[in-house]
Chain A
Amino acid sequence: MAKAFTNLMNDRAAAEREKAGASGSPDAGGEGQIVRRMKVETRKLNFFYGPSQALFDISVQIPEKSVTALIGPSGCGKSTFLRTLNRMNDIVEGARHTGEILLEGINIDGPEIDVVALRKRVGMVFQKSTPFPKSIFENVAFGPRLTGVSDRRELEEIVSTCLKRAALWEEVKNRLTDSAMALSGGQQQRLCIARALATNPDVLLMDEPASALDPASTSRIEDLIFELKENYTIIIVTHNMQQAARVSDMTAFFYQGHLVEMGQTQQLFTKPREKHTEDYITGRFG
């Protein structure tokens, strides 16, 4: 089984991991190693939709400039967990939680925290691409405009940079004023990523960003995630085990609102500590 999964992994991802291992793997190494800074952390997070509890005692630590995959069967609370990190759950009526959510050590639920500023730092890409019914340019420029950027030159600069980072520039550079709705599903999803990058976040939350896409678009997005990791901390929900194995450094397995196991992706996929995890990733239940 272990071998099968290793084969599934993207060569580059494997190479990268090896490199990280060689220079002193931060998490696997244990005491005495270089400590990687934690970007996102939750402590005993319990989450409720009205009377029903969706998350139980979730404590995670997510290092900066890494990709963390959240896996688990449908309805286990992956999206819920993701949305607590940029407080998108505030919108849900009757939702509440206990426990702490820290962004670089700062409690994001603190009374002094401006949720609008938080969401600019913690960007989000939804499962279903949601372009605004406006031009491609306006889609990407929306975020910067909100922060008061109005200079045309500056906006053009930001738009082209973000589209390039999202690997969409070549396809749309000649039709920036066209409606974003005219793009293909895969292009729309990359546009949404570009749009999220334009607010200059440092954490990027992605909820099944490739679930509706063909293999080619999926692999472009995976490449993109790989590149973005240089600068961003990425947390990605996926139902695709191969994808989790290919793109992520860390993987967290959720089951019925509980965090069953979290660890290095390679370790989790090859030597899961929990029986549950093993059953899930081998497809014995789901």
Chain B
Amino acid sequence: MISPADMNPPTSTVVNNELRQALTRKSAVRPAEVAFSFLCKSAAWSSLGILCVLVGSVMWKSWGYLDWQFLTSFDSQRPELAGIWAGLLGTTWMIFLTFLTAIPIGVGAAVYLEEYARDVWFVRFIRINLSNLAGVPSIVYGILGLTVFVRMFDLFAREAIVARLTGHIVEAVVILGVEIPLPLGTTLAAGALTMSLLILPVIIVATQEALRAIPPSLRHASLALGATRWQTVRYQVIPAAVPGIMTGIILSISRVIGETAPLIVVGAVGFARFAPGKIGSLSDLAHHPGGLLEAPFGKYTVMPVQIFNWVGQARQEFQGVAAAGILVLLGLLMLMNGVAIIIRNRYQKKLRW
């Protein structure tokens, strides 16, 4: 017990010299610390510097080419008439169709792996290889897409299995009045499916991580209320994972907008004077709404392929056109990422962990 008397003794403070020794710093600066922080700072600033130089030089080159006419025109042999409208539309379609297939498949796969699959060797094998797949060079996906979607293993060729089984050479199927070529050939759909394969690992891994970050107690609480496993996943787990899933989507948007090589392999057109589904303006859309269904099964171009094509042109002026294209591409990238980030933040705020 501490009695009041103990609390009020005459006090004296003795300086502990040993402690003073331990607390005194040995030198005014720590050289290693200073050097390290300098290295970090210069790394950060130099990457920003390089970016500025890049954008600056592209802007410089694009001078006189980036205007309204450039944004709204189709391509042309003459640099002053060339425009990126076909690529803009094609890339927009590409983003839409790619995510239309990749999100349900990717999220579904991740939900299966995290919420349902038991921990057997096969599932572990898949888990490990998903991260590896994310690192495969994109051209490999291009070649895969060429075989699987563009040519469809040549199943529909003369003398091939379909012809032999049906007695006909099948070239297309018509569903809801839309002609779907078989094999898909160098269509927008084949390109978008190839791109979905490319971004699937990223979406799956991001979703898996988001699901893993959700505490098991959330699932238990839901199950204890008499929710089924599916109801738990559908109403509690997936909504809580949306911000993480969105991060995966944001990462893949950049790839879908920027990838060039695989799309060249699966046949995106370099020089295009048409819009997907022949819908190049609002009035086209009004006159020909069916084009929305036809677009996936027609030819297309995308911005990076157009840019690639311009860069390879002999006439010097096309370098300026290409630079203008790069700026538009960067602009679209920032716009799309911005929208996705806003959606994610909205959702995060709504969740309020």
Contacts and interface: CB of A to CB of B under 8 A. Distances in A.
Contacts of B240: 133
Contacts of A124: 224
A196 B222 CA distance: 10
A195 B218 CA distance: 13
A132 B220 contact: no
B325 to A, nearest CB: 43
Interface string B339-353: 000000000001111
A146 B224 contact: no
Given A91-B220, A119-B223, A126-B220, A133 B228 contact: no
Given A126-B217, A132-B218, A120 B225 contact: yes
Contacts, number: 66
Interface in A132-171: 132-134, 142-143, 146-147
A143 B352 contact: no
Contact of A88 (B224, B227, B235): B224
A142 B228 CA distance: 12
Interface residues of A, number: 28
A145 to B, nearest CB: 8
Given A133-B240, A181-B353, A142 B225 contact: yes
B352 A146 contact: no
A143 to B, nearest CB: 5
Nearest to B350: A179
Most chain-A CB neighbours within 10 Å: which of B220, B239, B240?
A: B220
A281 interface: no
B211 to A, nearest CB: 14
Contact of B221 (A86, A93, A118, A192): A192
A2 interface: no
Contacts of A130: 215, 217-218, 220-221
Interface in A170-211: 179, 181-182, 192, 195-196, 199
Nearest to B119: A93
Given A133-B351, A181-B352, A182-B352, A86 B224 contact: yes
Contacts of B118: 93
B217 A128 contact: yes
A34 interface: no
30 contacts: A88-B223, A116-B228, A117-B226, A118-B226, A119-B223, A119-B224, A119-B225, A123-B225, A128-B217, A130-B215, A130-B218, A130-B221, A132-B221, A132-B222, A132-B236, A133-B218, A133-B352, A133-B353, A134-B351, A142-B222, A142-B225, A142-B227, A143-B225, A146-B225, A179-B351, A182-B352, A195-B225, A196-B224, A196-B225, A199-B226
